[in-house]
A and B are shown apart, each in its own frame.
Chain A
Amino acid sequence: MVKLVDTLLLGSSARASRFESEWRHGIFYSKRLLGHLIFMIFSTLEHILTHISFSVVSIVISTHLITLLVNEILGFHDLSKNGMIISFFCITGLLITRWILSGHLPFSDLYESLIFLSWGFSIFHIVFCFKKHKNDLSAIIAPSVIFTQGFATSGVLTEIHQSAILVPALQSHWLMMHVSMMIFGYAALLCGSLLSVGILVITFGEVIQILGKSNNLYFLNESFSFVEIQYMNRNERNNVLQKTFFSSSRNYYRSQFIQQLDRWSYRIISLGFLFLTIGILSGAVWANEAWGSYWNWDPKETWAFITWTIFAIYLHTRKNTKFESVNSSIAASLGFLIIWICYLGINLLGIGLHSYGSFTSN
């Protein structure tokens, strides 16, 4: 009897344990299923967001181009502004989705840092757009071009890039600060240097055009007024305008425009310089914690320092107020090239300690 109970009990407990193990198996599988489901939802979300932001930005850019040419369609400006805001939210959503999916901040390789760069551009554009309180061409030209570049590169790179794991050297809290500061710095500096390139294009394009026309005194006078106008302050300018005789007020508006571009460029580049400084220094401190030395003359570090030096030259050429806008624009345009070398060129070569973001690895 006892034996029967025993065997029954044993049997039932065996069955119970079997049932339990099966149940546990079931839970385990359904957990995995759930995990898979969540993963799929998030990755499709990411997919959708990328495509939405890409298409919105393309639309916005084309409307900007049309406004440039046509110049009269008012409704477009609101459309472009809202378009920018939508794409900003899309990119934010994209970044957050990648963060949740991969478990680490989206900084580990080139694709993710490019997405972050476009996010940085959209932030700057929105901040400065809202500060202006009125539509201004300058706030429209530069970010459109930049957005084209940012998104074209990231779209060309991969369709949807699988998020990779972080190597041991990147598992640190400094990652967040260093990379985000550097990328914000690059974004701001790129915006500012594009504005300076615009200044150079307008200045020299106009001068070449005028000088190319004829040696007529009239044209010389006009070229004098155009070029000299930028270097006068407001009241002197009023006097000159009252005194000189020129037919088109185009020059006046153009020089005002250049002055605005110049001042915006200065402000944005100062901000970018600040971020770049903090980024480089936090990178140095991180290197000291991880590898034992805060400066290794690694190619990426060296080029970041070169970028810093060029923009320090930019800030110093503005001290000499006689030719401040032209000289500093030259420095800033050089800086534009150097940033792209620093950011992408080094990764293309794939050398040095910063080879995480290179095309040739993996």
Chain B
Amino acid sequence: MKTLSPLNSSNPCLLKTHFLKVPIFNPIFKFKPLPHNTHHARIAKVPSFTMNSKLKSSQDINNTGKKSVSQKIVLSETSPPPLAVDKDGINGGSGSESVPVSSKKKGGVSGLAKKLSKKVLQILSNLSLAIGEMFTIAALMALGTVIEQGEAPDFYFKNYPEDHPVLGFFTWRWVLTLGFDHMFTSPVFIGMLALLGASLMACTYTTQIPLVKVSRRWAFLHSAEAIRKQEFSDTLTRASIEDVGTLLMGAGYEVFLKGPCLYAFQGLAGRLAPIGVHISLLLIMVGGTLSAAGSFKGSVTVPQGLNFVVGDVLGPTGFLSTPTEAFNTEIHVNRFYMDYFESGEVSQFHTDLSLLDMDGKEVMRKTISVNDPLRYGGITIYQTDWSISALQILKDNEGPYNLAMAPLQINGDKKLFGTFLPVGDINSPDVKGISMLARDLQSIVLYDKEGKFAGVRRPNSKLPINIDGSEIVILDAIGSSGLDLKTDPGVPTVYAGFGALMLTTCISYLSHSQIWAIQDGTSVIIGGKTNRAKMEFPEEMNRLLDKVPEIVESSSSQQVDTITSG
């Protein structure tokens, strides 16, 4: 985009010639030759382009400064065509921008299909519809947290009975037929999400991509009243427009100067970033669908020292799930251990794993813990839980016996495991014995036949304890590790979408400010507007304008007297 600077070679800094990478429609300059356009896939437009190029050249001939105002009006009223950004950077496509609507070349069915798709597109990209969709989705999600998910139908019969329904009408029939018991996978919810995705795509295509062209199209304002009508406007009585331009450039604006007119803008990215937001949302949706349809999940509790095969544990979640070669790996739990705080609570639990392939060769070895998973061949193994599997004891120096420990039910997330060593006649109906309880792998509490507290032992101390005549030595408490396995092909896409969303949301916080100015005799009339930062804009402009030097008519040549304020 070339700028026409006034023939003022003392201000070379105003020549910014390379600003826009893709030049857009320029009402003033020469038209580009025809052949560059043929590789745009708008077949219907090619014949019209020839008409149009003639139109443009005639416009060129008649072009004067005044005419460009009416040209500006014409430009902004026609809706711009869809995307036609070329690799060569030629603005061919945009040249057909004031194209007469004569693209109905094909007849019959495809014409009908085109009309129908246009209508559908128009409906889908309606903003109120989108807002309604978002609202419905929010309401459905809220409902999904209120209604208990994933319970058996009996639960809903009991809680939403037909004789006295909740809120007067909500019975279990509503819940089960609409699928509210599995809300987040129910057809209603998924359908709304799909509709929102369609709206997003339609909106991006019809409204936002043309917005790119419209916002990057700029035009000078040539009349003082037009400038005074802006949200912010001011008049500087003795100033020159070049000074204003220089100051704006110093403040970070892109400035264009043509004759007595000036146009400057800043923060264009803030207007274009919402497009990126919508595209990244679409990316996340696609990735989410891929995850839901194509991943494998499974969880397993493995006692220390045992193995399992990956493929036995994982189960598919959707129709796109296909197992890979890595599913034949066998995993061996070498060791499971826990770290404790000084107060005795669990601080972290670790599992030392070896991965063996089908020939029994170890391909990987790693110690995992919570927040530190293992990744191999697309499979990820997470440490999520733990339990105690068995207690190894010596009774009267006989053994070692392995006593399996069972979890005992208490409230909260504290765990308790217990086991029982029978004493005396095993086959009698009310057999008595020694009970052993453990909260974690650190210490075991022992109780005698009557249930009285007998003592506490740590497994690695090997100290014997005498209960009811038997001598018990606790050799080891064998823990078992709770592992979750997963493969998820959608994760890279989703992560890309996340990153893009974060970035584009940050950028869309910027405010797009535009400033017009005109030199009217010795005074400069300035007006501007901004789309987001409406509070700070007037103050910023006032600060900037305070710095414009005032021209004092001391000599005939336009010497700027340095009465700069501030």
Q: When the two chains form their complex, are residues B138 and A270 in contact, meaning their CB atoms are under 8 A apart?
A: no
- Residues of chain A with a CB closer than 8 A to B297's CB: 292-293
Stretch at the interface among A55-63, A193-201, A210-218, A259-267: A259-267
Closest Cβ of chain B to A18, distance in Å, is 27
Q: Does B103 contact A (CB under 8 A)?
A: no
**Residue in B138, B373, B413, B501 whose beta carbon sits within 8 Å of that of A289 in the complex:** B373
Q: When the two chains form their complex, are residues B535 and A260 in contact, meaning their CB atoms are under 8 A apart?
A: yes
Q: When the two chains form their complex, are residues B288 and A295 in contact, meaning their CB atoms are under 8 A apart?
A: yes
**Residue in B347, B486, B509 whose beta carbon sits within 8 Å of that of A293 in the complex:** B486
Stretch at the interface among B65-73, B168-176, B338-346, B517-525: B338-346
A 274-292 contacts with B by CB, 8 A: 274, 277-278, 281, 284-285, 288-292
Contacts A271-B509, A302-B141, A310-B138: A291 and B384 contacting too (C-beta < 8 A)? yes
- Residues of chain A with a CB closer than 8 A to B288's CB: 295
Q: When the two chains form their complex, are residues A281 and B502 in contact, meaning their CB atoms are under 8 A apart?
A: yes
How many of chain B's residues have a CB under 8 angstroms from any CB in A?
53
Q: When the two chains form their complex, are residues A292 and B484 in contact, meaning their CB atoms are under 8 A apart?
A: yes
Closest Cβ of chain A to B319, distance in Å, is 19
Stretch at the interface among B12-20, B490-498, B558-566: B490-498
Q: When the two chains form their complex, are residues B382 and A292 in contact, meaning their CB atoms are under 8 A apart?
A: yes
Q: Does A12 contact B (CB under 8 A)?
A: no
Contacts A171-B371, A292-B486, A313-B134: A264 and B142 contacting too (C-beta < 8 A)? no
**Residue in A277, A312, A361 whose beta carbon sits within 8 Å of that of B134 in the complex:** A312
Q: Does A316 contact B (CB under 8 A)?
A: yes
Cβ-closest chain A residue relative to B274: A315
Q: When the two chains form their complex, are residues A361 and B412 in contact, meaning their CB atoms are under 8 A apart?
A: yes
- Residues of chain B with a CB closer than 8 A to A362's CB: 412
B 135-154 contacts with A by CB, 8 A: 135, 137-138, 141-142, 144-145, 149
Q: When the two chains form their complex, are residues A270 and B509 in contact, meaning their CB atoms are under 8 A apart?
A: yes
Q: Does B552 contact A (CB under 8 A)?
A: no
Q: When the two chains form their complex, are residues A303 and B127 in contact, meaning their CB atoms are under 8 A apart?
A: no
Contacts A165-B341, A284-B498: A305 and B127 contacting too (C-beta < 8 A)? no
Closest Cβ of chain A to B486, distance in Å, is 5
- Residues of chain B with a CB closer than 8 A to A305's CB: 141
Contacts A277-B502, A281-B498, A292-B382: A302 and B144 contacting too (C-beta < 8 A)? yes
Q: When the two chains form their complex, are residues B138 and A306 in contact, meaning their CB atoms are under 8 A apart?
A: yes
Interface membership of chain A positions 233-249, coded 1 if the CB is closer than 8 angstroms to chain B and 0 otherwise: 11100000000000000
Count how many pairs of residues, one from A and one from B, have CB atoms less than 8 Å apart in the complex: 111
- Residues of chain A with a CB closer than 8 A to B341's CB: 165
**Residue in A133, A168, A306 whose beta carbon sits within 8 Å of that of B348 in the complex:** A168
Q: Does B505 contact A (CB under 8 A)?
A: yes
Q: Does A42 contact B (CB under 8 A)?
A: no
Q: When the two chains form their complex, are residues A316 and B370 in contact, meaning their CB atoms are under 8 A apart?
A: no
Closest Cβ of chain A to B469, distance in Å, is 40
Docked CA distance A165–B340 (Å): 11
Docked CA distance A241–B130 (Å): 37
Q: Does A155 contact B (CB under 8 A)?
A: no
Q: When the two chains form their complex, are residues B494 and A303 in contact, meaning their CB atoms are under 8 A apart?
A: no
Q: When the two chains form their complex, are residues A306 and B141 in contact, meaning their CB atoms are under 8 A apart?
A: yes
Please classify how large the interface on chain A is, using the bins under 10, 10 to 19, 20 to 34, 35 or more: 35 or more
Q: When the two chains form their complex, are residues A281 and B501 in contact, meaning their CB atoms are under 8 A apart?
A: yes
Q: Does A253 contact B (CB under 8 A)?
A: no
Closest Cβ of chain B to A299, distance in Å, is 5
Q: Does A161 contact B (CB under 8 A)?
A: no
Closest Cβ of chain B to A151, distance in Å, is 28
Q: When the two chains form their complex, are residues A267 and B532 in contact, meaning their CB atoms are under 8 A apart?
A: yes
A 306-338 contacts with B by CB, 8 A: 306, 309-310, 312-313, 316-317, 319-320
Q: When the two chains form their complex, are residues A316 and B131 in contact, meaning their CB atoms are under 8 A apart?
A: yes
Closest Cβ of chain A to B302, distance in Å, is 16
**Residue in B373, B502, B533, B539 whose beta carbon sits within 8 Å of that of A278 in the complex:** B502
Q: Does A3 contact B (CB under 8 A)?
A: no
**Residue in B135, B345, B369, B535 whose beta carbon sits within 8 Å of that of A263 in the complex:** B535
- Residues of chain A with a CB closer than 8 A to B509's CB: 270-271, 274
Docked CA distance A288–B380 (Å): 10
Q: Does A250 contact B (CB under 8 A)?
A: no
Docked CA distance A292–B135 (Å): 30
Q: When the two chains form their complex, are residues A274 and B505 in contact, meaning their CB atoms are under 8 A apart?
A: yes
Cβ-closest chain A residue relative to B295: A293
Q: When the two chains form their complex, are residues B346 and A168 in contact, meaning their CB atoms are under 8 A apart?
A: yes
Q: When the two chains form their complex, are residues B144 and A291 in contact, meaning their CB atoms are under 8 A apart?
A: no
Q: Does B77 contact A (CB under 8 A)?
A: no
Q: When the two chains form their complex, are residues B131 and A313 in contact, meaning their CB atoms are under 8 A apart?
A: yes
Contacts A168-B347, A273-B505: A317 and B131 contacting too (C-beta < 8 A)? yes
Docked CA distance A235–B231 (Å): 8
Cβ-closest chain A residue relative to B372: A289
Docked CA distance A309–B131 (Å): 10
- Residues of chain B with a CB closer than 8 A to A319's CB: 127
Q: When the two chains form their complex, are residues A266 and B145 in contact, meaning their CB atoms are under 8 A apart?
A: no
Docked CA distance A260–B373 (Å): 51
Contacts A267-B532, A312-B134: A168 and B231 contacting too (C-beta < 8 A)? no
Docked CA distance A80–B491 (Å): 50
Q: Does A172 contact B (CB under 8 A)?
A: yes
Docked CA distance A297–B145 (Å): 9
Which interface residue of B142, B231, B371 has the most chain A CB atoms within 10 A? B371
Q: When the two chains form their complex, are residues A285 and B134 in contact, meaning their CB atoms are under 8 A apart?
A: no
- Residues of chain B with a CB closer than 8 A to A260's CB: 535
Docked CA distance A96–B38 (Å): 66
Q: Does B349 contact A (CB under 8 A)?
A: yes
Docked CA distance A291–B384 (Å): 7
- Residues of chain A with a CB closer than 8 A to B501's CB: 277, 281
Closest Cβ of chain A to B147, distance in Å, is 12
- Residues of chain B with a CB closer than 8 A to A309's CB: 134-135, 137-138, 141
B 115-142 contacts with A by CB, 8 A: 127, 130-131, 134-135, 137-138, 141-142
Q: Does B506 contact A (CB under 8 A)?
A: yes
**Residue in A131, A263, A299 whose beta carbon sits within 8 Å of that of B534 in the complex:** A263
Docked CA distance A362–B411 (Å): 10
Docked CA distance A133–B382 (Å): 53
- Residues of chain A with a CB closer than 8 A to B138's CB: 306, 309-310, 313
Q: Does A294 contact B (CB under 8 A)?
A: yes
Docked CA distance A291–B144 (Å): 22
Contacts A277-B501, A284-B498, A288-B491: A168 and B369 contacting too (C-beta < 8 A)? yes
Q: When the two chains form their complex, are residues B137 and A316 in contact, meaning their CB atoms are under 8 A apart?
A: no
9 contacts between A and B (CB under 8 A): A277-B501, A277-B502, A290-B370, A290-B371, A292-B382, A294-B491, A302-B144, A306-B138, A316-B134
Interface of A with B (CB < 8 Å)?
131, 133, 165, 167-169, 171-172, 233-235, 260, 263-264, 266-267, 270-271, 273-274, 277-278, 281, 284-285, 288-295, 297, 299, 302-303, 305-306, 309-310, 312-313, 316-317, 319-320, 361-362
**8 other A-B residue contacts (CB within 8 Å) besides A299-B145, A309-B138:** A165-B345, A168-B346, A169-B371, A171-B370, A281-B502, A293-B486, A316-B127, A361-B413
